Amino acid sequence: MKSSLFIVVDGIDGSGKSEIVKMLHNYLFSKNKRYRILTTREPTHGRYGNKIRKMLRLEKNPRSSREKIAELFIKDRQEHLKNIIGPFLKKSGNNELNIVICDRYYYSTIAFQGAQGLNIKTLIGKNKGFKKPDIAFVLDSEPSIALKRIAGREKEKFEQLEFMKKIRENFLKLPKLLKDNIRIIDSDKSLNEVFNDVKKEVDKILT
Ligand SMILES: Nc1ncnc2c1ncn2[C@@H]1O[C@H](COP(=O)(O)OP(=O)(O)O)[C@@H](O)[C@H]1O
Ligand SMILES: [Mg+2]
């Protein structure tokens, strides 16, 4: 019997990650009393994560600072795994299953900083030592639809149509480039339909 499960939800801005993470958490929480669940996200609220957030908020040109941002994301991820994800997955309770649901992971670093012009193979190399999720969902939305969904939010560095198209293309290339268990989920459908597709895959792993 598995004692831990590491799930990642990734995709472009406005693809529905936050909503799906919430729905998945609620679903798993009520599905089985043996499940201990942690939801978490990248960038984190740690020292490197906070630097990244600040840069994304203040910088307006999507192509700038690519080396710096990639480096900060790698450092943030190291800390995230060491301090938060790793310890939670390792806790051994009485017959419990530890589940981490993570909103964004190295797939984003590869897709975003790849779209900024860094070499995709190099980015993959920099991330290859990190723990692989048991399953990773890439929520795939048409960038124009995703942008409309987040129209009310303050625009961040990467939230421009042409740039988001490149990011999306990179996400879609990932299953061929990585040996990870990646599922591309069409997230232009209704939230309930998207969640249903995700739930089916998670249920398969849990049975
Ligand atoms: N499949 C969907 N259909 C309609 N609206 C959606 C869908 N997915 C997300 N939304 C809405 O779009 C907005 C952005 O979703 P969110 O989950 O915050 O995206 P992300 O975390 O990927 O940026 C939210 O207001 C959310 O309710
Ligand atoms: Mg979100």
The dihedrals phi and psi of 175, each to the nearest 5 degrees, come to -60, -30
From atom 27 of ligand 1, which residue's Cα is the shortest distance away?
19
3-state secondary structure 1-30: CCCEEEEEEEECCCCCHHHHHHHHHHHHHH
Testing ligand 1's pocket by substitution, the residue of 8, 9, 18, 158 carrying the most ligand atoms inside 8 A of its CB is 18
Q: How far is the CA of 103 from the centre of ligand 2 (A)?
A: 7
From atom 25 of ligand 1, which residue's Cα is the shortest distance away?
149
Identify which ligand lies nearest to the alpha carbon of 13.
1
76 lines ligand 1 (CB under 6 A): no
Partner residues linked to 6 by β-bridges: 100
Domain boundaries, given as residue ranges, for the chain: 4-206
Q: How far is the CA of 68 from the centre of ligand 1 (A)?
A: 29
How far is the C-alpha of 133 from the C-alpha of 197, rounded, in Å?
18
How far is the C-alpha of 57 from the C-alpha of 110, rounded, in Å?
20
- What kind of architecture, by CATH, is found in domain 4-206? 3-Layer(aba) Sandwich (3.40)
17 lines ligand 1 (CB under 6 A): yes
Ligand 1 atom showing the smallest separation from residue 149 Cα: 12
Query: What does the block give as tokens for 182?
Result: 């990646």
How far is the C-alpha of 41 from the C-alpha of 49, rounded, in Å?
10
Note down pLDDT in tens along the chain; length 207 residues: 578 999 999 999 999 999 999 999 999 999 999 999 999 999 999 999 999 999 988 988 888 999 999 999 999 999 999 999 999 999 877 789 999 999 999 999 999 999 999 999 999 999 999 999 999 999 999 999 999 999 998 888 888 999 999 999 999 999 999 999 999 999 999 999 999 999 999 999 998
Q: How far is the CA of 190 from the centre of ligand 1 (A)?
A: 10
145 lines ligand 1 (CB under 6 A): no
Which pLDDT does position 159 carry in this prediction?
84
Tell me if residue 118 falls in helix, strand or coil.
coil
Q: What is the pTM of this model?
A: 0.97
Q: How far is the CA of 97 from the centre of ligand 2 (A)?
A: 25
Identify which ligand lies nearest to the alpha carbon of 22.
1
